Chain A
C-alpha cells in the first residue's frame, strides 16, 4: 500500500472515511450572517429614520422570497441574499416605534447570551447534559421567588406564559385531587375555576386542553379600570357551590393584556384562603414590576399566591421565550404532578446527585435554556439596572397620560414598552384605540 493512501471504507454505498466536513467554511458563513445582523438588525433597526416594517401583501411577499425547498443546495452568495431578504421583510421589533405587542426592544446581553446558547444547542433535562444551564435556571428561579416574597419555593421555565398558566391549572387540579393524574376526569364532579373578564385567553384554552371545559371557566366582573371585583368573586364561588360544582382555582392577573390592569391580590387572596382555593397569579406582564421598589406595590399580596406566572421576555426584554412558573409549595408537588420517571433519562444510579435532574418537573422532554439570557442581563445590569428599566417604562407611560390628548376609558396603566433614551419625546399610542369605546 502506498504510504498515505487511504482505502475508502464503503458501507451501503456510503463512504465512511471520506473528506471531513469543512467546519471552517461553515463558520465563515455564520460570521457573514452575524455581520449582516449587526448592520441590519442591531444598528439600523434601532434608528428612528428607518422603517419598522417593509409591508408587502402576502402574495407579493411569496414571490419576492423564493421560499421553495428544492432537492439541490444553493451557493453561499445566494444563501446570504436569502438571509438579507428575510431580515429586510421582517418587522423590526426592536425599533423605537414598534408598540404592537407586549414585547419589544433588544437587550444586547440577552442577545449575546442567546448566540452562545444557539451555538451550544443544549437541552436542560439533566445535569449531565446541561450542567451550567440547569444551575443557572435554579439560580434565576431562586431570585424570582425572592422577588415574589417567598423564602423558598419551586418552579420551572416553560415555552410561554400560556403553558405556564396551563401548568398552574394542572398543578392546582392535582393538589385538589391527586388521583386525577391516574384516573382522569370522567365521572367526577364539575371542577370550576374563576378568572377575571380581562384575563388572558390562555385560561380558556387551558381549560379546554386539560379536559376541564371552557364553560367551566367563570368570569368575574371587573371595575371601570379593568380590575377584578373580589365581592363578585365571592358571590360566584357561593353560586357555583349551590349548583353542585367544585371550585378549585382562582386566577388573578397582574397586568392585563389590553388595559394593563392589576387585580387587587390581597383581597382576592382573602377569598381564596377562606374557600381553600388555589390562587394563581398570571403576572406574565406585570411580574417585572416586582424588581422596582417604586412600583411593586401594584402586586401587593402576591406572596399569598400558590403560583405565579412571570414572563421576563415582556417588560424586561429577555428575548422570546422567557417564561417562568413559580410555585410556593416545598413538598415537591411540581415533580409529583408531572413526573413520569423515564428510565432512559432519569436513571437513579447515576454518579452524581440526581436531584439536580429537574427535567421530570416539566411537561416537556427536551427544553431550551430560557433562563440563561435573563441571567446574563441581570449579571450585566444588576437588579438596580433592571429596576431603572421598569421605572422608565412607567414614567414614559405617565408622560403619555400627561399629553393634551382626549382619553376615553382611561386605564390605570397602559402597557408601554421600553425604548432607548433618544426617543423620549416620541408619542406612544399603545392599544388605547382598541380599549376606548
Chain B
C-alpha cells in the first residue's frame, strides 16, 4: 500500500513534496496557530518525562517511516508542546505569536542561508543594516555599529569582549595571562549571563563585582562608585559596567544617567543589558525608564521578548564608529572574505562576529515592523504596561493575594497539570518563592488578567 511504504527523499517528486508540506502546514495552522493561541484550549498537555518519552517514540531507527506516521508525529509534537503564544502563558520573558513575524520566520527557514556575505545573502545583509540603524536611532544614535547575536547572553559576552579589547587591544593575540586581574560591575539583579560570560571569556566569575540594588531592584550608583574604588585598591583594573534595563525577576530599570556619570568619571565601558526593556524605547509614554541610554557604549536588546519577534532576535548595538567590532573579531578567513571580490566587501559582515555561519534574524522583525509600523508596536508596549497596572490594582483589591510563599510550587504543579496557564516562580534574595507575571503577548486583554487571578484563587483555595 502506497502510504505504508517508507518515504525517501522526495527529490524530483514535486507532487509529493507539495502534498507533504501542505498537510503539515494544515496541521500547524489548526493546532499551533489557531488552537495554540485560543484561551479555550490548554496551554500545555502535561506528561511526566518518562511517559512522554514512550508517547513520542523518540528512538532513531535504521529504516524510514510512512507518510502517515510522519504526519502523526507532527500532530503529537504540537499536542505535547507548550503553547507559548497562548494568552495564559506567562512563564518566560517571551510570549505571543505575531503572524507577520511568523511569516518572516517561515521565509527565513525556506531560504536557509547564512548572514556572512553579501554574495550569499544580499537581501539580508542590507536588511540587517537597516534594522540595526532603526534600533540605534531609538537608542538615540545617528551612527554606530552592531550585529544580531544568537541570544542576549551572547550579546552581553560580545560587549564584554569589546570592552576588554578596547582597553587592551593586545589581549586579542596575547590573551589575559599577562594582564592584571580585570573587574566588571553589575547589579545583583543582573542576568546570569554576565557571570557565565566572565567565566567563558577567561576573566573568572570572581571578576564580577556585585553592586547593591534598592528595594525596587535598581542598581545603587553610590555603591557602584564604592565598589570601583575598592576593586582598584585590591589591584584589579575596572573596565566595564553592565547596567540592566528591565531586570529578569523584578523588571527593574537601573538609573542609567547616574551610572553613566560614574562610568565617565572612571573611564569605564558602559554596557546596558536592555534585552527585556529595550523595546520600551518604542513607547513615547514609557521610554523615560531608559533615560540616559544614549550615553552607553553598547546596548543589548532582544525584540524576541517584548516585541514577540520569535526566538532568536537579539541585537547588540554599538555607539562606536571606528570598526571596533571588526578589529576585535576579524580573522580575514580567505575562503569567505576574499578582498578581490566584485563588490564592495565592506558589506560582508561575517568578520564582525565570532560565529561563522549565522542565522538570518532580521527578517521576522523587519516584516512585523512593516506590518505594524512603529506606532503599532508602540501601542503594544503601552498595552502591556496598562495591563500590568490593571493587574496590580486588581491584586490590591482581592483578599488573600500577597507575596506567595511555600505554596508556589504546588500552585504551579496544579496549573500545569490542569493546563490552564503557566506562570514562573522563583525565590528572590531573602524572599521565599513568588510568582513573576510577565505581560508581553500582543493578544492579551483584560479578560486574561481577570482569568489568571480567578484561577489562582481557585487552584489555591484549599491552601
Contact = CB atoms under 8 A, between A and B. Distances in A.
Interface in B352-407: 354-359, 363, 366-367, 369-376, 379, 382-383, 385-387, 389-390, 393
A94 B195 CA distance: 41
Interface in B268-311: 285, 304, 310-311
Interface in A36-52: 37-38, 41-43
A139 B59 contact: yes
Contacts of A42: 17-18, 21, 110
B443 A23 contact: yes
Interface stretch (B30-38, B219-227, B454-462): B30-38
Contacts of A180: 199, 202, 204
A108 B10 contact: yes
Interface string A407-423: 00000000000001110
A34 B14 CA distance: 15
B56 A378 contact: no
A319 B359 CA distance: 10
A319 B45 CA distance: 28
B370 A71 contact: no
Contacts of A364: 150-151, 153-154
Given A352-B48, A365-B153, A382-B64, A119 B36 contact: yes
Nearest to B360: A320
B197 to A, nearest CB: 8
A170 B198 CA distance: 12
A366 B200 contact: no
Contacts of A93: 111-113, 120
A131 B48 CA distance: 9
Contacts of B310: 118, 121
Interface string A1-33: 000000001011110111011011111011101
A223 interface: no
B150 A163 contact: yes
Contacts of B105: 118
Contact of A353 (B49, B81, B202): B49
Interface in A385-437: 385, 389, 420-422, 431, 434
Contacts of B253: none
A79 to B, nearest CB: 6
A143 interface: yes
Contact of B375 (A71, A103, A351): A71
B132 to A, nearest CB: 11
A387 to B, nearest CB: 9
B202 A212 contact: yes
Contacts of B37: 23
Given A116-B32, A186-B179, A381 B64 contact: yes
B2 interface: no
A123 B204 CA distance: 27
A133 B53 CA distance: 11
Contacts of A389: 9
A160 interface: yes
Interface in A341-397: 342-345, 347, 349-353, 356, 363-368, 372, 375-376, 378-385, 389
A364 to B, nearest CB: 5
A62 B130 CA distance: 10
B86 to A, nearest CB: 11
A294 interface: no
Contact of A421 (B11, B29, B61, B375): B11
Contacts of B131: 69
Contact of B177 (A57, A111, A119, A188): A188
Interface string A180-196: 11111111111100000
B357 A321 contact: yes
Contacts of B38: 23
A111 B122 contact: no
A14 B152 CA distance: 30
A234 interface: no
B200 A136 contact: no
Contact of B173 (A62, A215, A378): A215
Interface stretch (B210-218, B258-266, B423-431): B423-431
Contacts of A379: 60-61, 64-65, 69-70, 73
A183 B387 contact: no
Considering residues A160, A216, A338, which has the most beta carbons from chain B within 10 angstroms of its beta carbon? A160
A127 B50 CA distance: 12
Interface residues of B, number: 175
A120 B81 contact: yes
Interface in B92-130: 92, 94, 97-100, 102-103, 105-107, 109-114, 118-124, 126-127, 130
B452 interface: no
B443 A215 contact: no
Nearest to B115: A320
A63 B59 CA distance: 50
Considering residues A119, A186, A319, A434, which has the most beta carbons from chain B within 10 angstroms of its beta carbon? A119
B91 interface: yes
Interface string A134-169: 011011100100000000000000011111001000
B370 A123 contact: no
B28 A119 contact: yes
B426 to A, nearest CB: 4
Interface string A245-269: 0000000000001100000000000
Given A12-B285, A34-B106, A382-B62, A366 B347 contact: no
Contacts of B373: 70-74
B247 to A, nearest CB: 10
Nearest to A27: B33
Contacts of A106: 110, 112
Given A42-B17, A43-B14, A115-B106, A61 B122 contact: yes
A63 B333 CA distance: 31
Given A43-B18, A69-B366, A365-B152, A101 B331 contact: no
Contacts of A118: 102, 105-106, 109, 310
A366 B9 contact: no
Nearest to B109: A114
A211 B175 contact: yes
B201 interface: yes
A67 B130 contact: yes
A379 B124 CA distance: 32
Given A16-B445, A89-B122, A160-B358, A131 B111 contact: no
Given A73-B370, A115-B24, A385 B9 contact: yes
Considering residues B17, B18, B344, B413, which has the most beta carbons from chain A within 10 angstroms of its beta carbon? B17
Contact of A41 (B11, B111, B413, B436): B111
Nearest to A114: B109
Nearest to B98: A26
Contacts of A331: none
A68 interface: yes
Contact of B114 (A67, A101, A121, A258): A101
A139 B103 CA distance: 30
Contacts of B445: 16-18, 20
A70 B77 CA distance: 38
Contact of A116 (B7, B44, B77): B77
A202 interface: yes
Contact of B370 (A74, A138, A343): A74
Given A91-B120, A382-B61, A127 B49 contact: yes
Given A58-B126, A205-B329, A12 B385 contact: yes
A130 B82 contact: yes
A73 B94 contact: no
A341 to B, nearest CB: 8
11 contacts: A14-B385, A30-B106, A58-B347, A83-B103, A83-B367, A120-B85, A122-B311, A181-B204, A207-B175, A214-B172, A364-B153
Given A20-B443, A58-B126, A106-B112, 6 more contacts: A13-B386, A21-B442, A112-B20, A115-B109, A160-B355, A353-B49
Which 4 A-B pairs rank lowest in CB-CB distance, beginning with the nearest? A211-B202, A184-B204, A213-B175, A26-B99
